[in-house]
């Protein structure tokens, strides 16, 4: 078991919650940045929280915000982590068109604030930046670490800035700073307004008799969708290498949003034509048409390959949302999980 200390920004999000569980299972002491909200925003991590007064507590939360550099410096100085996983961001592409300045402040400058805090107080820490396949944007698939960047949204521009800052701090200050360039990854804990979860929740609501229609935007876009628990394992592996580097992580399969809709509706026994409608408000001013990872470097250097591909992912997510809505799951998703991950380290799903 490890006795390392990790600091996670974005610990309340999809990835942060799985990563916290993974690191706890490896013996880490885990610290997370949590935003103060007027309602509870820790649902994804409540099941792993142990009160700090308990002798076996190994998870600690710190209130703060990525726009607050003083707070970030203070926390990092006090915790002195061995590893930092910087996952916090305004992470929704469509929303970034409505909030371009805020997205730049949090998603781009948030990374600089952490890198600066590290440089000043703890330059030996290992740093992981949550970079994104959105940075490839308009570049033809497949995309790997040497592909051109062509961002197509304020979010992607912000992530690209953060990517280059990470590389510059690595080169300029000899820091162990890495980019994981992750393609879309999904799970039962995926944010409700990302398209996969919106579809699987929509199906559950229809079957529960609460909704009749699901309104979507562009169904032609192609994405390389993987399963989040596998991807947080890569984040950890990236920081365990001898040398810092950047890695593309994805399944190597691509499918349209329409294909996801068809597969999910068919699995749930519903007719797409009867329930899916298009609403122009979900279209983006500029779209990323096709993403497909070439994860060869990760396969070779990290010894990693995605186990869960598109059709399994659809079943896992539909089953989870049916269960959450009080509808009997079909069951194949659960069978896939127990077959592929007999000793699951994530506790809640």
Beta bridge partners of 9: 33, 86
d(CA 118, CA 106): 17
Q: Is 199 in the site for ligand NDP (CB under 6 A)?
A: no
Work out what residue 15 binds among ligand NDP, ligand GDR, none; the CB cut-off runs from 5 to 8 Å by kind: ligand NDP
Counting contacts by CB under 6 A, is residue 284 touching ligand GDR?
yes
Strand partners, 178: 128
Residues that bind ligand GDR (rule: CB under 6 A) add up to a total of 21
Catalytic residues, which ones?
132, 134, 155
Q: Which of 99, 121, 218, 311 binds ligand GDR (CB under 6 A)?
A: 218
Q: Does 187 engage in binding with ligand GDR (CB under 6 A)?
A: no
Among the listed residues 12, 103, 132, 166, the single contact to ligand GDR using CB under 6 A: 132
- How many Å is the maximal CA-CA distance in the chain? 59
The region of 142-150, 193-201, 229-237, 314-322 touching ligand GDR under the rule CB under 6 A is: 193-201
Taking CB under 6 A as the criterion, the residue among 216, 239, 292, 313 binding ligand GDR is 216
Residues 47-106 close enough to bind ligand GDR by CB under 6 A: 91, 93-94
Give the shortest CB-1-to-ligand NDP separation in angstroms: 26
According to the binding rule CB under 6 A, does residue 308 interact with ligand NDP? Answer: no
Query: Contacts with ligand NDP in 120-159 (CB under 6 A)?
Result: 130, 132
Rounded least distance, CB 225 to ligand GDR, Å: 9
Contact residues toward ligand GDR (CB under 6 A) are 91, 93-94, 132-134, 183-184, 193-195, 198, 216-218, 221, 223, 257, 282, 284, 287
């Amino acid at each position: 078991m490890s006795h390392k200390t990790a600091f996670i920004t974005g610990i309340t999000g999809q990835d942060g919650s799985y990563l916290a569980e993974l690191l706890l299972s490896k013996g880490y002491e885990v610290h997370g940045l949590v935003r103060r909200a007027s309602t509870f925003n820790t649902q994804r991590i409540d099941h792993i929280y142990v009160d700090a007064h308990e002798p076996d507590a190994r998870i600690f939360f710190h209130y703060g915000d990525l726009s607050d550099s003083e707070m970030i410096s203070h926390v990092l100085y006090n915790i002195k982590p061995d590893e930092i996983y910087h996952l916090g961001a305004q992470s929704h592409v469509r929303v970034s068109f409505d909030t371009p300045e805020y997205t730049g402040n949090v998603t781009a400058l948030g990374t600089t604030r952490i890198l600066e805090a590290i440089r000043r107080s703890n330059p030996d820490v290992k740093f992981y930046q949550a970079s994104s396949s959105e940075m490839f944007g308009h570049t033809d698939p497949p995309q790997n670490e040497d592909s051109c960047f062509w961002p197509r949204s304020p979010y992607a521009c912000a992530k690209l800035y953060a990517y280059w800052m990470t590389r510059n701090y690595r080169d300029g200050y000899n820091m162990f700073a890495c980019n994981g360039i992750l393609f879309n990854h999904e799970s039962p804990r995926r944010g409700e307004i990302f398209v996969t979860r919106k579809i699987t929740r929509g199906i559950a609501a229809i079957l529960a008799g609460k909704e009749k229609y699901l309104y979507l935007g562009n169904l032609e876009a192609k994405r390389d969708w993987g399963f989040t628990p596998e991807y947080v394992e890569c984040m950890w592996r990236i920081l365990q290498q001898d040398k810092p580097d950047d890695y593309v992580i994805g399944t190597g399969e691509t499918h349209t949003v329409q294909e996801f809709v068809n597969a999910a509706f068919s699995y749930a026994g519903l007719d797409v034509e009867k329930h899916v409608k298009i609403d122009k408000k979900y279209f983006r001013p500029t779209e990323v048409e096709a993403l497909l990872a070439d994860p060869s470097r990760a396969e070779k250097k990290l010894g990693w390959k995605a186990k869960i591909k598109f059709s399994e992912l659809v079943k896992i997510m539909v089953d989870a949302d049916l269960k959450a809505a009080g509808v009997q799951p079909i069951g194949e998703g659960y069978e896939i999980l127990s077959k592929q991950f007999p000793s699951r380290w994530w506790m809640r799903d």
